[in-house]
Amino acid sequence: MAAEVGATLPAGWALASDTQDAQASASDDHAASVAETYHDDLERTAGVLLAAWLAQHDGDHSGAAAALAAGLGTWAAARAVWKVPQVAGYETIDAYNDGGEDAAGDLTDGTLSPDDGTVLAPDAFYVTVLPEGAAEIFCQMYAGQEFSIDDAEEIYNAFPAHISCDHYGCIVAR
């Protein structure tokens, strides 16, 4: 994010340790949640496929294992097409948002500066929500609008706002 605003981080700068610890804990929790969701979806789908097989074959289990394996393979491939990007976006947004909040804090407290050493003025930047267009009413109130750098935490914490939301906060130079 520093490069996006034409700045470099001070030597030795690192993400705050409490932020790193929070990210590690959240990562563990999220991984467990993803695994649990996959298990539940797989179990439910297997039940539906098996019930359909049995109904079509008068309760005869012959061939059900092969049909179930094929059906679950098809289901898993189709699910991965949309689920993998959804999970990846969701899992990375926390780190992105924390980085945005930290960058806004660095701008506000004067610790983010360009290579020439000048201090960047917080009012030379604003926070916006991208992409600019939105279908959901909540997102419409924020998408493409300008907010003070002081509002960065609120903006970064608000997005994504719903399960299929593609909006995110972004610090922009005026």
Please report, rounded to a whole number, the percentage of residues in the chain having pLDDT higher than 70. 94
Q: Which of 162, 167, 163, 124 lies closest to 142, judged by CA?
A: 167
* Predicted confidence band of residue 5 (pLDDT cuts 50, 70, 90): low
Average pLDDT value over all residues in the chain: 87
* Total residues found in the chain within this entry: 174
For 84-98, the pLDDT digits (tens) are: 887 887 778 878 888
pLDDT computed for residue 38 by the predictor = 92
Residue 154, pLDDT above cutoff 70:
yes
Q: How many CB atoms lie within 10 A of CB 93?
A: 16
Higher-confidence residue of 38 and 86: namely 38
For the chain, how far is it from start to end, CA to CA, in angstroms?
15
Best mean pLDDT range from 84-98, 105-119, 142-156: 142-156
DSSP class of 122: G
Position 39 pLDDT exceeds 90: yes
- pLDDT tens across 114-140, in order? 777 788 889 899 999 999 999 999 999
Q: Which of 129, 132, 140 is nearest to 168 (CA)?
A: 129
pLDDT of residue 149: 94
pLDDT exceeds 70 at position 60: yes
Q: How far apart are CA 19 and CA 55, in angstroms?
A: 53
Check whether 1 has a pLDDT greater than 60: no
The more confidently predicted of residues 14 and 157 is 157
